[in-house]
Amino acid sequence: MKKSLIILFLFLIISSKVWAHKISIFAYVEGNYIQGQVYFNDGSPAKLAKVTLLPARGHKILGETKTDKEGNFKLLIPKGVEGKVRVVALAEMGHRAEINLSLKPEAKGPQKGEPSFPGAQDFMAPPAQTENPASAGVLLNKEELKALIHQEVEKEVAPIREILEQLVKQLQKPSFSEIFGGIGYIFGFFGILAWAYSKRK
Amino acid sequence: MHISEGVLSAPVLLAGALGTGIGTFLGLRCLTSEKVPQVALLSAAFFVASLVHVPLGPSSVHLILNGLVGILLGWMTFPALLVGLFLQAILFQFGGLTTLGVNTFNMAFPGVVVYYLFKPLIKSPRLSVVGAFCAGAFAVLLAGIFVALELALTGESFQASAKLILMAHLPIMVIEGFITVLIVGFLKKVRPEILFPEEKP
């Protein structure tokens, strides 16, 4: 038994990495889209997995798409959908993952330039409200400024997003401490059982 | 092979839990105090084996070892795998607590089936290798068929998912077959009383 287990362990080591068995989903909102990735936790992409958008509670399907070869998906947020939603990924063989997102209310049109967060007014209003365009070299109206800021922030944030994605993936892999902990639990459990048996006699 | 939570319908989950309950009851009835350490070891081996993944096509498959456990433990496969799967569910979120019953049944019952089908073959001096290989491979196949059936009962087309699962598990079937041959052959040579406890000298 000992030797056979050694053989088994050797085999496990030879076949290298310790991988998990489930799919995970990573998603974020960008503009009118929900973008993200579906992957097995060894990091390999889940190709052609079905991705559906559902409200936080309930089963009404709001949107649907499939992942591409890299496991990425891009889902258009239907008009009027806001608040808390779930994005559910379904891969074959009964794998399923979901993530909760909260959608901000849709960006308001230019006619009603309400700021989306408090404090934005002070920050963005002055250039837009300047009635005298000659006073400065370049003047952007509020919407343009907003778009520009969004673009720049998006650019700056992209690498962070990537790191975050990797971090999330890393976190979902079973760690060695968990694996050995699990083995310990198993032996502990059967140890208790053995003890109970010995008491009975 | 681990079906995630929220994929199957309630009747299927209940049926699976019931099957596992009966199996575990029967398993615990044959469990003797001398067998406890062996069950613990195999439970731990099963627990670790499921973490080894081979990426394949759109999915990834992993070792199951339910054939090997089945050959060695018979009905005691149920408690062994139940413990392993329970820990996988809470530590790694493979499968889930609601699908614990179904998942245990899917993997443990084929183990019991191969115990009755192939144990006589393994006992015979000539066909031992064939029996062991069939036991390893058939247990995986049967588990795959159960998963496909359950998915079919929940709406997915049986043919499509069965085809996919079969294709995905073909290499694993072969690998499992070889591993079972290796370990059974070794045990038969060195410690036959582990394989055939009823013939204890």
Q: Could you write out the three-class secondary structure of B27-91? A: HHHHCCCCCHHHHHHHHHHHHHHCCEEEEECCEEEECCCHHHHHHHHHHHHHHHHHHHHHHHHHH
In a domain, A100, yes or no: yes
Q: Which residues of A touch B8 (CB under 8 A)?
A: 94
| pLDDT at residue B120, as a whole number | 87
- What distance in Å separates the CA atoms of residue A183 and residue B43, rounded to the nearest whole number? 9
Judge contact between B100 and B81, C-beta under 8 A.
Answer: no
Task: Decide if A15 and B4 are in contact by the 8 Å CB cutoff.
Answer: no
Whole-number Å distance between alpha carbons of B110 and B29: 19
Which of A15, A92, A186 lies at the smallest CB-CB distance from B40? Answer: A186
For residue B196, what pLDDT is reported?
79
Q: Do B40 and A40 touch (CB under 8 A)?
A: no
Cα B135–Cα B51–Cα A7 angle in degrees, nearest 5: 60
pLDDT grade, residue B61 (50/70/90)? low
pLDDT of residue A15: 39
Report the number of distinct structural domains present in chain A: 1
Q: Give Cα A80 to chain centroid, integer Å.
A: 22
Residue A98 forms part of a structural domain:
yes
Please check whether residue A166 lies inside any domain of the structure. Answer: no
Answer yes or no: is A119 within a domain: no
Cβ <8 Å between A46 and B150: no
Q: For A31-175, where are the alpha helices, taking DSSP H only? A: 120-129, 142-172
Torsion of CA A180, A185, A191, A193, to 10 degrees: -150
A1 neighbourhood in chain B, CB within 8 Å: 38, 41, 187, 191, 194
Whether A118 maps to a domain, the answer reads: no
Q: Cβ(B23)–Cβ(B30) under 8 Å?
A: no
Q: Tell me the mean pLDDT in the region B132-148.
A: 90
Kindly identify which residue of chain B lies nearest to residue A16, measuring between CA atoms. B52
> Token pair of A33, please?
């889209």
Would you call A1 and B33 a contact, using CB atoms and an 8 Å cutoff? no
Domain with residue A54: its CATH number is 2.60.40.10
For every residue of B104-138, DSSP letters joined together read: HHHHHHHHHHHHHHHHHHHHSSSSHHHHHHHHHHH
Cβ distance B45 to A179 less than 8 Å, yes or no, reads no
**Residue B199: what pLDDT?**
59
Report chain A residues whose CB lies below 8 A from the CB of B39: 190
Domain residue extents for chain B: 10-189
Strands A33-40 and A72-76: antiparallel
Of the two residues A42 and B75, the one the predictor is more confident about is B75
Residue A43 structural domain:
20-106
CB contact under 8 A, B179 and A11: yes
A42, B190: Cβ pair inside 8 Å?
no
A45-54, A98-107, B32-41, B181-190: range with lowest mean pLDDT: A98-107
Token pair belonging to A134: 């000659």
Distance, in Å, from the CA atom of B152 to the CA atom of B147, rounded to the nearest integer, reads 8
- A6 domain residue, yes or no: no
The pLDDT assigned to A105 comes to: 66
Q: What is the CATH number of domain B10-189?
A: 1.10.1760.20
DSSP-derived letter for residue A18 is B
pLDDT of B52 > 90? The answer is no
**Of B36, B38, B150, Cβ closest to residue A193:** B36
**Closest by Cβ to B53, choosing from A7, A19, A91:** A19
Which residues in chain B touch residue A94, judged by CB atoms under 8 angstroms apart? 2-4, 7-8, 147, 150-151
ipTM of the complex: 0.79
- Closest residue on chain B to A198 (Cα): B33
Q: How does strand B53-56 pair with strand A95-103?
A: unpaired
Confidence of residue B144 (pLDDT cuts 50, 70, 90): confident
The answer to whether residues B92 and A178 touch, using CB atoms and an 8 Å cutoff, is yes
- Judged against a pLDDT cut of 70, whether residue B12 lies above it is answered with yes
Block mean pLDDT (10 aa), chain A, length 201 = 56 39 80 83 76 82 84 84 83 78 62 43 47 57 86 87 82 80 91 86 65
